[in-house]
Structure formats: structure tokens, C-alpha cells
């Protein structure tokens, strides 16, 4: 069996085993990299170690470490307060407030923004008799809307994969998915009757409405650090890794005890996932698999149709696995195909990003599961069925809609 075919079979096994057994894909990716590299390509263990993406490892650790300070020192609660005040006391605006909160948090580096916002949003929906499915999905779509900011894990991961091989526009990658998910959330809000909600928010209701707590100086400094990171990297082109580490160090020096908690908040599972899959993708490239698959795509003869198939392949797979891992593999396999120049590479990547993440509403994905976990046990089965129905519609329509609205018009 050729190395190309062997590596593809192993990749499929990695995704199937990771999904069925709930094993981190990064761990499986590392194991697969060693196995394929040594048994099929004749490489040594040291050769595999050399493929480890040290730069990507550092940026992921730096970003999640910096956000860990905000998560533990109460800065998130302050941000919640400020955004809830934007409701002006109106219950009907609350779904959009939670949408915005999730978008802001993930854009600033909180990969698991849904885990932070869903425990706030779902009880709020129950208290004020809002549709819980709508509220939960507004949170997820909010997270997806902000997921591709230049300082988010998704944005950094895609930028690292493309490098100098394919034209890349960070602002386009950020803004187009944002507009797309705002549109999807708007349809959901209208169909589920969110605009019909009446009443005003009780500001003193068990912490579930807006609060009036004042921010401490350290919380303001922490939020300021996140703002400096965003402005410094996007407006002034500063290196994201070094800036995040410097800011985290300053916060640690100000409060050493907070540093211990922040370090515990580093998303090690995500770091392992991304770096493990990247390492295996490097092995795929050495095996010639990337060119092999790209030639197969090109052989279809219609680049736009090939892109649609890739979008649906990424979307359907991502609905049952990690979207970060799926995007990584899909982009790596598509790079030679994009270099042929038949499709706009920027629009292709943006559309692929949307197609791979819009399906994260699935109860089998991390975000969908986090929402489901915040539903009372006695309501969970019914909610699961409704969520599964909504996810089915999104999986069937979402990738095609991304293709039709982002990529096809530029053909």
C-alpha cells in the first residue's frame, strides 16, 4: 500500500476513533504521526519531533493564559454587567446581549466562550420565559460570529496553516463569518419569536439580571490588557505571542496568586488537539498525501463543485468532531488546489471556515453539548430532540449557504 493511501486510512481511523471513543484527536494525531512516519516513510523519532509546531504551541498557551486571568479575577462578570446594561432593561434584547457577550469573549481569546455564557443565558431564558432553544443557539452563533478574530484560537490556527503559501486577509476572515452568523441568528430570533418577549429585567434578581457591581482596579487592568492585545496585534502588527506573554507576565507580577489560577486555565486539551493534528498534517505532506488529494480534487474538472464537496465534507465531519481539527486538515489538503488559481483563495478559506463551524450547534459538538448540559435534567430529552432537529437543518443547509454566499459570487 502506498504511503499516500496509508496516511489517509490512518487519518480516517483517527477521526472515527476520536469521535466514537471521545479521545482527544491531538493525542491520536501524535501517535499516528509517529506510526506513519516511522513505519511507512522510514523517518526517525527525532524527525517527527522536528515537525512539532513550536510557534503554534506558544501562541495557543499565551492566549489562553492571558484570558485565564480575566476568567478567574471577576473581569468576565464585569463585562457581563456592562453588556447586560445594553439591554436597557428589555427582555426582548437579552438574546442579542448574550450573543454579543459570547462573540466578544471568543474574539478576545476565550475558546470556550459558550461554557462561560451558557450558564448565564439558559437560566435567564427560563426565568423570563424565553425559548431556551433560541437562547442556547444565540449563544453558540454569537461564539461562532467572533471565532475568527485575529487574536482568537481559530484565527491564529488558520493563519499559521496558510503562512506564505496562500493569500490571507485576517480582517476578511473575521468580518465575513461575523456577518454570516449575525444573519443566521437574526433568522433564528425572528422565527422563534424572540422579538415578542415582553417585560423588563429585574436588576436584583439573584444575579440573573444585570448587576451594579463596580470593577476593581485589577479587573480594569485585566480588561485593558485584553484591549491592548487586540489593538496592538491588529492595528500595529505586533507579534501576538510575545505581546500576550508580556501582558500575562505583568498581570502575574501584580498578583502572583492570580497567575497560578490563570495557568490552570490554559486550554491544554485544545493545545494538544491543534499541535497533534498539525504534526500529523506535516507527515501527510512528507508522504505526498496533500498533492495526492489535491490532484484528485482537480480531476473533478469543476473547481467550484469540488469546493462545494469539500465544504460539505468538512461540515458533516465537524458536526461530530472538533471543528479546529477539521479546519486544519481541510485547509492543508486544499492548499495545492488553491495555488492553481482557479478559485479565490481568500474567499475559499473564509467559506470553509464558516462551513466547518456553523455546524457546531450539533449536540455532538462541544458547543452544542455545553448548551445541552445547562438544561434542567427533566427537560433535557425534549431539548435534545429539538436541538438535533435544528442541527440537522443547519448541517444540511449551512455549508451550501456558505458556498453560495461567500465563494460562488466571486467565481
pLDDT digits (tens, 9 = 90+) for 115-129: 888 888 888 888 888
261 within some domain: no
Together in a domain, 36 and 152: no
Contact 222, 262 (CB under 8 A): no
Partnered with residue 200 across adjacent β-strands are 90
373-410 confidence digits (pLDDT tens): 888 888 888 998 999 899 999 999 999 999 999 999 87
Domain end residue (candidates: 229, 254, 279): 254
Q: How many domains does the chain divide into? A: 3
Q: pLDDT tens digit string along 262-319?
A: 988 787 887 888 789 889 988 988 998 877 877 787 777 788 998 998 899 888 888 8
Whether 308 and 161 share a structural domain: no
Spatial distance between the Cα atoms of 334 and 307, rounded to a whole number of angstroms: 9
Residue 177 is predicted with a pLDDT of 96
Is residue 217 included in any domain, yes or no? yes
Higher pLDDT, 43 or 89: 43
Whether residues 342 and 310 fall in one domain: yes
How many CA atoms within 13 Å lie on the side-chain side of 18? 27
What nine digits make up the cell of 242? 510575545
What is residue 216's DSSP assignment? P
Q: Spell out the residues 6+ positions from residue 130 whose beta carbon is closer than 8 angstroms to its own.
A: 91, 94, 95, 124, 194, 197
Q: Is residue 58 part of a domain?
A: yes
Residue 259 lies in a domain: no
Same domain, 166 and 70: yes
Domain identity same for 209 and 232: yes
Instruction: Note whether 65 and 33 are same-domain residues.
Output: no
- 69-81 pLDDT per residue, tens: 987 898 877 877 7
Contact present, 311 and 399 (Cβ < 8 Å): yes
Encode pLDDT of 350-368 as tens digits. 999 999 999 999 887 878 8
Instruction: For residue 161, tell me if it sits in a domain.
Output: yes
Distance, CA of 391 to chain centre: 17
The residue-averaged pLDDT of 50-56 equals 89
The residue segments making up the domain with residue 409 are 289-411
295 in any annotated domain? yes
Instruction: Please tell me the distance from the alpha carbon of residue 293 to that of residue 334, in angstroms, as a whole number.
Output: 8
Domain assignment of residue 127, yes or no? yes
367 and 241: one domain? no
pLDDT, one tens digit per residue, over 139-153 is 999 999 999 999 888
Does residue 44 sit in the same domain as residue 72? no
Q: Give CB contacts under 8 A, 24+ apart, made by 39-43.
A: 40/3, 40/6, 40/7, 40/287, 41/3, 41/283, 41/286, 41/287, 43/286
**Banded model confidence at residue 211, pLDDT cuts 50, 70, 90:** very low
- Answer yes or no: do 147 and 246 share one domain: yes
Q: Is the pTM of this model over 0.75?
A: yes
Looking at the structure, tell me whether residues 75 and 203 fall in a common domain: yes
- pLDDT tens for 158-205 read 887 776 667 788 999 999 999 999 999 999 999 988 887 766 666 544
Please check whether residues 274 and 136 belong to one and the same domain. no
Same domain, 177 and 250: yes
Please state, in angstroms and rounded to a whole number, the distance separating the CA atoms of residues 318 and 298.
23
Q: Is residue 85 part of a domain?
A: yes
Amino acid at each position: 500500500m502506498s504511503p499516500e493511501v496509508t496516511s489517509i486510512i490512518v487519518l480516517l481511523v483517527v477521526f472515527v476513533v476520536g469521535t466514537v471513543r471521545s479521545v482527544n484527536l491531538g493525542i491520536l494525531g501524535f501517535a499516528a504521526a509517529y506510526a506513519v512516519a516511522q513505519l511507512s516513510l522510514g523517518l526517525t523519532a527525532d524527525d517527527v519531533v522536528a515537525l512539532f509546531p513550536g510557534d503554534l504551541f506558544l501562541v495557543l498557551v499565551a492566549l489562553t493564559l492571558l484570558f485565564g486571568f480575566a476568567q478567574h479575577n471577576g473581569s468576565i462578570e464585569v463585562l457581563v454587567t456592562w453588556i447586560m446594561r445594553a439591554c436597557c432593561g428589555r427582555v426582548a434584547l437579552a438574546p442579542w446581549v448574550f450573543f454579543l457577550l459570547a462573540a466578544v469573549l471568543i474574539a478576545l481569546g476565550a475558546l470556550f466562550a459558550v461554557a462561560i455564557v451558557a450558564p448565564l443565558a439558559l437560566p435567564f431564558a427560563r426565568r423570563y420565559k424565553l425559548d431556551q432553544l433560541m437562547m442556547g443557539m444565540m449563544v453558540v452563533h454569537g461564539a461562532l460570529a467572533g471565532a475568527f478574530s485575529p487574536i482568537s484560537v481559530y484565527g491564529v490556527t488558520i493563519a499559521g496553516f496558510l503562512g506564505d503559501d496562500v493569500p490571507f486577509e485576517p480582517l476578511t476572515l473575521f468580518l465575513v463569518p461575523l456577518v454570516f452568523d449575525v444573519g443566521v441568528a437574526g433568522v433564528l430570533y425572528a422565527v422563534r419569536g424572540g422579538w415578542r418577549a415582553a417585560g423588563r429585567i429585574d436588576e436584583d434578581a439573584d444575579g440573573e439580571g444585570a448587576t451594579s457591581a463596580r470593577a476593581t482596579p485589577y479587573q480594569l487592568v485585566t480588561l485593558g490588557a485584553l484591549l491592548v492585545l487586540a489593538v496592538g496585534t491588529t492595528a500595529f502588527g505586533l507579534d501576538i505571542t510575545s505581546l500576550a506573554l508580556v501582558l500575562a507576565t505583568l498581570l502575574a507580577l501584580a498578583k502572583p496568586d492570580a497567575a497560578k489560577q490563570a495557568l490552570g486555565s490554559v486550554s491544554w486539551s485544545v493545545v494538544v488537539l491543534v499541535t497533534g493534528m498539525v504534526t500529523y498534517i506535516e507527515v501527510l505532506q512528507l508522504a505526498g498525501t496533500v498533492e495526492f488529494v489535491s490532484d484528485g480534487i482537480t480531476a473533478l474538472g469543476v473547481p467550484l463543485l469540488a469546493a462545494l464537496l469539500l465544504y460539505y465534507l468538512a461540515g458533516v465531519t465537524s458536526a461530530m468532531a472538533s471543528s479546529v481539527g477539521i479546519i486544519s486538515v481541510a485547509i492543508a489538503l486544499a492548499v495545492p488546489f488553491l495555488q492553481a488559481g482557479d478559485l479565490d483563495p481568500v474567499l475559499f478559506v473564509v467559506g470553509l471556515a464558516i462551513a466547518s463551524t456553523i455546524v457546531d450547534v450539533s449536540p455532538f459538538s462541544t458547543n452544542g453539548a455545553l448548551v445541552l448540559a445547562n438544561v434542567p435534567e427533566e427537560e433535557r430529552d425534549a431539548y435534545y430532540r429539538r436541538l438535533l432537529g435544528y442541527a440537522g437543518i443547519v448541517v444540511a443547509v449551512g455549508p451550501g449557504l456558505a458556498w453560495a454566499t461567500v465563494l460562488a459570487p466571486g467565481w
